[in-house]
Structure 1
Amino acid sequence: MGNEPTTLEFSTSTPRGAVFDEWAALMNETYFPLTLEPIEEAPTFGRVTSSALPGVPGFSLTTLAGRNQHFRRTKTHVAAGLEEYLLVSIQISGHARLTQRGRSVTLLPGQMTILDTSLPSVWDCGAAFEQVLVQVPTRYLRDQPGLEQIRIPAATAIEPDSPPGVVATYFRELARIRLHAPAEADLLAGAALGLLGSAVLLAAGDKPVDTPADALSREHVTVFLREHYTDPDLSAAEVAAACHISRRTLFRLFDGPGASLNDTLRGLRVRHAERLLTSPRTRPLAAVAFESGFASERHFYRVFQQETGMTPRDYRNTHIR
């Protein structure tokens, strides 16, 4: 099933009232203590889609859309918070203006910025907008190598074609993928915390240390696997060459906690087979095996049963009514 996201939304023609107050309360619950008010006496709406990310408690990925909303976090809110968070915002559409630490930045589509909840801030989103937000307790981010004492580069526009902008692309695509393939999104999310740390280091002007840098390389490999896993002839040598690393480095990147290289590839293929087996169009099992990237029907049967506890035929019969 994967970590399926939940979505809540609201719309009102009169921004002063119970409906808007309920939305403001939801924002406090989803993020951290803040005040939310309409910018003007005009219709307003909001939609939030959120899910947890693996690695540490409180690590989440959210897509927020809306209009006519003014977010304000004061010193009183900061003092009342039980946890400090780092919030990364990636603008998808529209624009938003963040003010923090005496700096103001207007985000345009594709740009990213960082908010530090240990400081007061103001966030204005007047016209219709959509953002991807990544939130993590700051203490867990500080546990990563190189981030213990670094000054968080808040309220700075990070361009999509910059080195940390690569990480913004990763989170934007992860938010998109989880809507229709949450299980595959879970596989891709394994390196999320390390990549977020890399983005902060790069935005601050520091070079990532080994662990975050490896996370970037591993994610590059994972993206390549996701695009080519249906090729039954895909080899480690081909993956390494396409990602401009050696075979030794390739296997080292997947050595340790988390799924191995083979486990990642096998998981992608099994998830694909599950979708084919439950689709309205009934395919022969041999076709499902080939279209999912398995070299033979026999190999497909063995791997599928190991991963799901069921044969492909039983899985189809169980999930199609």
Structure 2
Amino acid sequence: MLSFTTDDLRPQDRFDHWCEVRGKTLFGVTIELERPQRSDFYGRFSARGVGGAIVSDMQASSYRIGRTNADIARMSGNSLCIGLQVRGPGMLETGRGSRQYVQAGSLTISHSDLPFQATPERSDGFEYRMLKIPLSADLLVGARGHDLFAAGLPHTAPQARPLEALFMALTRADVPPTDAESDVVHAARLALIIRGRLAAGSVEGRAALRAGYLHAARQILARDLRRPDLSPERVAAELGISLRQVHVLFEPTGQSFSRTLTTLRVREAAQLLRARPSRPVADVAFHCGFESLSAFYRAFQGVYGMTPRDLRQAESEPRRTRPQPEAAMA
């Protein structure tokens, strides 16, 4: 884990430090900012390894940034970069006669060793998150990756939702993916498919798509688990796939759609039972999407091996080991 901030530096030193020490020697970019704006500059950066890739997160004052041929010659990387403009939209240029508007919440795909220049639209700072994946012959499976000039992800692409889901799963710091190395490869291949470098119908392409849709389905379950009407049909409709495909997505996990949803609901209920000891059990059960109290008790017993009341009693006794759910969703 690498992390640093300008907070501990003198205000008059912050931009120069960020520009020269961080920008040129770590990021491999050229940074520009009008002199009157430098006294209020701030920057925070963190990076960590995930499945052989690097996830980085940056928050800073607004500035112009570019990767020049000189920057590339000094610091090459041969990596696929998938970036999320969390906050702070702007214009992106690649020196190829076109300008693209990158809005907040959108993904971009690029190769690390191609020039670009980005200009912020606003002056109130930005946040940018990136997944940087080293390219190899095994990952590329014959596809081209070196010519991927920076471009926004078209939301109309069939693979857009699966790629977004994989990106979010890989860049979450609180819940690391269970098979990060495979997910990194799948994310890279979905990006290559979207940019027309890899065939969607290839063995690798189909595997990447299944992995992405599985993460997308899990996101829907986590988001809507409190809805009693959450069903495979609803998930299939949102993802634009068949009902059978939804069930097939969960087969490799060893847990069905129904079992996965039930475990998520029980875990949510357990958190509420711990946080609100006086809240009625029935209220917790219905709040978490269970349609009957008896169904909730059966599900809770199956996951934790005890009743909700037993859980609360165990939580009130600090010497006892807290009960853990089964490994169904580990």
Match of 1:17 in 2: 13
Identify which of 108, 126, 141 aligns with 1:113: 108
Does residue 1:303 correspond to 2:303, yes or no? yes
- Counterpart CA distance in 2 for 1:101 and 1:71 is 11
The aligned runs of 1:106-145 (5 Å cut-off) are 106-110=100-104, 111-125=106-120, 127-139=123-135, 143-144=138-139
What is the CA-CA distance between 1:269 and the residue it aligns to?
A: 2.5
Match of 1:204 among 190, 196, 199: 196
Alpha carbons of structure 1 residues 289 and 13: separation in structure 2 relative to 1, 3 Å? same
Q: Secondary structure at the match of 2:132?
A: strand
What letter is aligned with 2:264? L
Instruction: Return the match for 2:80 from 79, 86, 96.
Output: 86
Q: What is the aligned partner in structure 2 of residue 283 from structure 1?
A: 279
The answer on whether the counterparts of 1:71 and 1:122 sit within 8 Å (CA) in structure 2 is yes
Corresponding residue for residue 46 of structure 1:
43
Deviation at residue 118 of structure 1 after TM alignment: 2.8
Does the Cα contact within 8 Å between 1:89 and 1:132 map onto a contact in 2?
yes
CA distance in 1, matches of 2:126, 2:102: 11
- Contact 1:24–1:35 (Cα < 8 Å) also in 2: no
1:134 is paired with a residue whose SS is strand
1:156 alignment partner, one of 144, 151, 154: 151
Measure how far apart 1:276 and its partner are: 1.4
Q: How many residues align?
A: 302
Q: CA deviation at 1:28?
A: 7.2
On the 8 A contact 1:6/1:51 being kept in 2, the answer is yes
CA shift, 1:214, in A, is 1.9
SS at match of 1:67: coil
In the TM superposition, 1:1-321 aligns within 5 A as 9-10=5-6, 17=13, 20-21=16-17, 25=21, 33-41=27-35, 42=37, 43-48=40-45, 53=50, 56-60=51-55, 62=57, 64-72=59-67, 74-75=69-70, 77-78=72-73, 80-81=75-76, 83-100=77-94, 102=96, 105-110=99-104, 111-125=106-120, 127-139=123-135, 143-144=138-139, 148-150=143-145, 152-163=147-158, 165-166=160-161, 170=165, 178=172, 182-183=174-175, 186=177, 193-204=185-196, 207-208=199-200, 209-231=205-227, 236=232, 239-240=235-236, 243=239, 245-256=241-252, 261=257, 264-279=260-275, 282-293=278-289, 295-304=295-304, 311=311, 313-315=313-315
Q: Where do 5+ consecutive residues of structure 2 fail to align?
A: 323-330
Change (3 A) 1:74 1:186: same
State TM-score, norm by structure 2. 0.66
Deviations 1:58-97 (A, max 9, x none): 242635443135354544654545x532222333443344
Contact 2:162 2:215 in 1 (8 A): no
Letter matched to residue 201 of structure 1: I
Q: CA RMSD in A?
A: 4.6
More RCO (CA 8 Å, sep 6+): 1
1:301, 1:311 within 8 Å by CA — same for their partners in 2? Answer: no
Q: Distance in 1 between matches of 2:78 and 2:146?
A: 14
